[in-house]
Amino acid sequence: MSKISKNVMVIGGGIAGIQASLDLAERGIKVDLIEKNACIGGRMAQLDKTFPTNDCSICILAPKLAECFRHPNITLHTLSEVKNLSGQQGDFKVKIFKKARYVKEDECINCGQCIEKCPMRVEDEFDMKLRKRRAIYIDYVQGVPSIMTIDRENCLFFTKNACRICEKVCEREAIDFDQEDEEIELNVGSIIVATGYDIFNPKSLNSLGYGRYPNVVTALEFERLISASGPLGGHLTRPSDKNEPKKLAFINCVGSRDIKNNPYCSSCCCMYTTKEAMIAYEHNNEIETSIFYIDLRAAGKGFREYIERGENKYAISYIKGKVAKILEDEQRNPIIVYEDINTSQVKQFKFDLVILATTMVPKKDAVTLAKILGIKTNDFNFFKANSYYPQISSKEGIFLCGACREPMDIPSSVVDASGAAAKAAEAIMRG
């Protein structure tokens, strides 16, 4: 076997990027894992439980995070982004921009004393802005690397030249306001892109009232609402009055399979709405759920049985039909107006809480990244993959995996990631 001298760069530290990195590292190949956020973990860390086994997301993710952090073959670059790429397969030159953390990585022990004292409250993106975090923060408690970060946009020292409280309370003297952004250069043999997805913002769909009606939330928000480690500690209440909701409705395909917004199918909403309804039911057996759908797409292993279980054991009714709009009554209960397919009549139904299964959309900066990397995107700005060899991008030496190339669920992303790792390894072995 020839000796391997080149590194592989993996862009994006979600489940796909993590899996690809681990496979390569185990394979004896050195990996540079580039993550934009302060912690790796991606969307999976935000999820409560995951279908089709409904096991707890962080339980199965956390050991992988730790492994990634500890593996001698993986160099983790957090708060980092790719700025420039030149060269070709076997010899890429990459410029990485690394934001200052203002916390010394080797000193912070994640004790959280700084968080307690920091006076600046900021909307928490990880918790879908459902609660506040501080200007010094960690994305989520199990996050890796398990150290703090100061958010320069909000920290009072940077904005008003005041405060510096964290510096005083940190016993490890880990706070370092003198840190500066850095530019790093890497030389890698091949690249895996695993930058994942964003969520469609349903505010633009006026008729659904999201943003105006407090009791209309998105599925990712709901994921945080029911999570044991989320803002409600797992005790589901609805936003308007903190009452426990009994009647839930999910609307599938919000912003997808819709020519005006995104014509494509988001692949996992049918499954995750069922899952969220199941978890809600497990919290409170009085909950009844209606799921409004176009087609129930559940072709994966054990998926069809999963839907059946939802129907038979978790008080879920599946209603085929397109929702026309959502109204609201005085108690702020959302009312769904939809066309009943049996009678073609327009019907109304009142719920306590409505959850919108908003589609996965490409990352905001997908096009920019595609330009930097010199790879093509498809009509919707997902990275363009070969029709039969889905990990292969339009450029030699660059491979794709996970939801950055097409909406997909975790099992598919993990398969995709391992596959991309094989291709990236092959590329550096060849040349």
CA distance 90 to 359: 36
Structure tokens at 151: 């958010």
232 near other proteins, judged by CB under 8 A? no
Q: Which residue from 130, 327, 372, 415 is in contact with other proteins, where contact means CB under 8 A?
A: 415
Two structure tokens written together for 220: 């990712």
Token pair listed for 427: 């590329």
Residue written as token pair 């719920």: 351
- Residue 216 or 400: which CB sits closer to other proteins? 400
Give yes or no for residue 367 binding other proteins (CB under 8 A). no
Q: List the interface residues with other proteins, window 275-294 (CB under 8 A).
A: none
Q: Provide the minimum distance between the beta carbon of 146 and ligand SF4 in the complex, in angstroms, as a whole number.
A: 10
Rounded-to-integer distance, Cα 283 and Cα 260, Å: 37
Among 214, 231, 234, 239, binds other proteins (CB under 8 A): 234
What are phi and psi for residue 269, nearest 5 degrees?
-65, -40
**What backbone torsions phi and psi does residue 190 show, to the nearest 5 degrees?**
-150, 170
Task: For ligand SF4, give the closer residue by CB, 105 or 308.
Answer: 105
Among 72, 233, 260, 330, binds other proteins (CB under 8 A): 233
Q: How far is the CB of 56 from ligand SF4 (least distance, A)?
A: 22
Edge to edge, the sheet with strand 323-328 lists 323-328, 334-339, 346-350
Nearer to other proteins, 142 or 394 (CB): 142
* CB-based contact 156:119 (threshold 8 Å): yes
Residues that bind ligand SF4 (CB under 6 A): 109, 118-120, 134-136, 150, 155-157, 163-166
Is residue 128 involved in binding other proteins (CB under 8 A)? Answer: no
Q: Is the peptide bond before 52 cis (omega within 30 degrees of 0)?
A: yes
Binding to other proteins by residue 130, rule CB under 8 A?
A: no
Min. distance of Cβ 349 from other proteins in angstroms?
18
Q: How far apart (Å, rounded) are the C-alpha atoms in residues 263 and 255?
A: 8
Query: Cα dist. 276→36, 212, 222 in Å?
Result: 28, 23, 8
Residue 296 binding target from other proteins, ligand SF4, none, CB below 5 to 8 Å by type: other proteins
CB of 190 vs other proteins, minimal distance in Å = 12
Q: Which of 6, 77, 257, 363 binds other proteins (CB under 8 A)?
A: 257
Q: What are 186's two structure tokens?
A: 């890497």
- Choose which of 299, 312, 329, 330 interacts with other proteins (CB under 8 A): 299
Q: Which of 5, 59, 206, 431 binds other proteins (CB under 8 A)?
A: 59
Quick check: 39 and 32 in contact, CB under 8 A? no
400 binds, among other proteins, ligand SF4, none (CB under 5 to 8 A by kind): none
d(CA 344, CA 236): 35
Provide, rounded to whole angstroms, the least separation between the CB of residue 151 and ligand SF4: 8
50 binds other proteins (CB under 8 A): yes
CA–CA distances in Å: residue 79 to residues 37, 130, 184, 383: 5, 23, 12, 22
**Three-state secondary structure string covering 40-57:** ECHHHHHCCEECCCCEEH
Residue 77 sits at φ, ψ, to 5 deg, of -115, 95
Q: Is the peptide bond before 334 cis (omega within 30 degrees of 0)?
A: no
Does 227 help bind other proteins (rule: CB under 8 A)?
yes
Residue 223 binds to other proteins (criterion: CB under 8 A): no
What is the per-residue binding string for other proteins in 12-41, x denoting contact by CB under 8 A?
Answer: -----------x--xxx-------------
Encoded tokens for 146: 């398990």
Q: Which does 285 bind (CB under 5 to 8 A by kind): other proteins, ligand SF4, none?
A: none
Which residue, 220, 274, 267, is CA-closest to 411?
A: 267
Task: Point out which span in 72-80, 147-155, 205-213, 261-269 binds other proteins (CB under 8 A).
Answer: 261-269
Closer of 22 and 79 to other proteins (Cβ): 22
The pattern of x and - marking residues 375 through 404 that bind other proteins according to CB under 8 A reads ---x-x-x----xxxxx-------------
